[in-house]
Structure 1
């Protein structure tokens, strides 16, 4: 039986990939002035970033249990063989909610065949897991083969990213008011990552955009270890800054000889916290052997 890949909008994959591999995507909730929107459905990233530049503050909420219930029940009724790949449990309660809903439905559908994977990743770092799983599913790989791959990717995916304005991290509770003020005053660009526990972690502070991009390339080389970056699909995303993303792509091409990229705008669910101008790169620190 072919495997169906299900995920949520925190994966930030381009729509053409979603359509090509027939991936089902559940939208995360974005809130503005107490009104709820669905990430990528009733709220597009470009609109969110334009509004944030004008001072609008957004919040996010997990996917409602009812939405999981409806989707899982549909899969169970059709006898689908499903893997749901979830946004990191260290950043959202979406994973935990999906498990609770799936387990409660098993009473009515004991033969339900849904495996749930905590990506411990975000944005296209998370998206690379989904993309690879969807490719394998399309090739007719078994669920066990896909789950083994996902276990590997969860342990070896690297996230390196920076935000253009530290003020957005303050609004999201990641830095103090004083840190945000001093960071803006000194043109500080923080570099952050997501460690193996799936949480957000600031790792360095660099002054100026040019220097932060150069440092991201250095960190990429340090973390790649013995992995062959040239043969990988490299993920890059941006907070409505395509020029910055393309500059980062050219630097990666020149340094490592990479030729395969997935480039996309950061979606509303993550962009609500990271803000306009965010730049990120994602890759594996060890080669995956199929």
Structure 2
């Protein structure tokens, strides 16, 4: 089985997959004020969060170049690339351009670029499913077909501790953010089928918001005994454990894993944020 699964650095992998020879991550660049921070193994989450908190401006991200992706294509095997939602980043377009350029010189190469239409652990679930299909003997064309169907059925929900990043990047007016902060209102967010972000619900206080999210997962999950629950947290493992307990006492998922957010996911989630996908 000769294959490589390439994720952009918004793919929050568990340690065992980071160390798996079949997996590669292509880093985005995070920008706080004028400083550029590479989202790779050198990323310092606590330092990044402190810089974001101190800055009056919204942090930004820059997607990998086509050349960054093409470097990972020089491999004797099938290539699968997973990117964060094309509605949130140019990473997908960059990877697609890299594929087209590479195939001009290597027309017989099998390369598939998958727009996750989500982020973080949703990308991880796609990567894990690709691995499962390949190791089950599924040929390239069938993997491509099955993984797009799998992607279309993933649901992503998340709860933010702070609305500050949304305020800074213009998704909320300053007044909305101030009122929400004063009333301790925490939004429960989700991803649309197209990969955009929208508000599902809200609650007063982080605990109530997390429980609200767990109840919503219970209501809309299909065939949970066939699904894996992914949970990523931004610098709050205890909160992730609480979410895991609240969800699993309601829903019999086949399996569950918890990971800490890398750079891009930390940018979106902000400190204390929790992201779920299933």
Identify whether the pair has TM-score above 0.5, normalized to the shorter chain. yes
Q: Do the aligned partners of 2:32 and 2:55 also contact (CA within 8 Å) in 1?
A: no
Higher mean Cα deviation, 11-20 or 237-246?
11-20
Question: Any gaps of 5 or more consecutive residues in structure 2?
Answer: none
> Aligned to 2:78, which of 69, 77, 81?
81
- Counterpart of 2:11 in structure 1 is 11
Question: Any gaps of 5 or more consecutive residues in structure 1?
Answer: 284-290
Matches within 5 A, 1:22-171: 22-55=22-55, 58-72=59-73, 74-75=74-75, 79-171=76-168
Work out the CA distance in 1 between the residues paired with 2:146 and 2:44. Answer: 31
CA RMSD of aligned residues (A): 2.0
Work out the CA distance in 2 between the residues paired with 1:21 and 1:233. Answer: 22
- Counterpart of 1:288 in structure 2 is none
TM-superposed CA distance for 1:60, in Å, is 1.0
Partner-residue secondary structure (3-state), 1:271: helix
Work out the CA distance in 2 between the residues paired with 1:138 and 1:37. Answer: 36
Q: Does 1:261 align with 2:256?
A: yes
Higher mean Cα deviation, 51-60 or 86-95?
51-60
Higher mean Cα deviation, 23-32 or 183-192?
23-32
Post-superposition CA distance 1:125-175 (Å, at most 9, x none): 121011111232234431123212211222110111110011121123321
Q: Do the aligned partners of 1:234 and 1:262 also contact (CA within 8 Å) in 2?
A: yes
Partner-residue secondary structure (3-state), 1:256: coil
Q: Do the aligned partners of 1:121 and 1:154 also contact (CA within 8 Å) in 2?
A: no
- Counterpart of 1:286 in structure 2 is none
Work out the CA distance in 2 between the residues paired with 1:220 and 1:122. Answer: 17
> Aligned to 2:270, which of 272, 275, 285?
275
Q: Do the aligned partners of 1:161 and 1:280 also contact (CA within 8 Å) in 2?
A: yes
Q: Do the aligned partners of 2:230 and 2:257 also contact (CA within 8 Å) in 1?
A: yes
Post-superposition CA distance 1:227-273 (Å, at most 9, x none): 23244211111111111100011112222234621101122112113
Q: Do the aligned partners of 2:110 and 2:140 also contact (CA within 8 Å) in 1?
A: no
Q: Do the aligned partners of 2:9 and 2:40 also contact (CA within 8 Å) in 1?
A: yes
TM-superposed CA distance for 1:21, in Å, is 5.9
Partner-residue secondary structure (3-state), 1:121: coil
Work out the CA distance in 1 between the residues paired with 2:131 and 2:46. Answer: 27
TM-superposed CA distance for 1:50, in Å, is 4.2
TM-superposed CA distance for 1:54, in Å, is 4.8
